[in-house]
Amino acid sequence: MNIAARLEGLSESGGICISETVLNHTRGKITIDVEDLGEQALKNISQPIHIYRIVLGPRQGINAASHSQEPPLALPDKPSIAVLPFKNMSGDPEQEYFADA
């Protein structure tokens, strides 16, 4: 859980970062494009973690060199809902588990 929270902090707004462990577990099950960010030292994690950024766009397989410059998707005609990560707005670390839910 701690690694996931640190990866969230490395992600760009609307982006997704995953560890090499996640990439290895998904290999052959789903097709994603990733950008290799290398090994990163993360706060409160004893060893560096190899990080990948998921490249959002057309799915062309796991390929760190693939970057397409396609135009963004059109907005839908009907209302949409976006689910964003919760933030602990209380400032009390004891209440962090509410934000993790």
Q: Is residue 14 part of a domain?
A: yes
With cut-offs at 50, 70 and 90, classify the pLDDT of residue 62. Answer: very low
Whether 75 is in a domain gets the answer no
pLDDT above 50: residue 83: yes
**Range of 51's domain?**
1-65
* pTM, two decimal places: 0.51
* CATH number reported for the structural domain that contains residue 32 in this entry: 3.30.70.1230
User: Per residue in 34-51, is it b (16+ CB within 10 Å) or e — as a string?
Assistant: bbeeeeeebeeeeeebeb
- Number of structural domains the chain divides into: 1
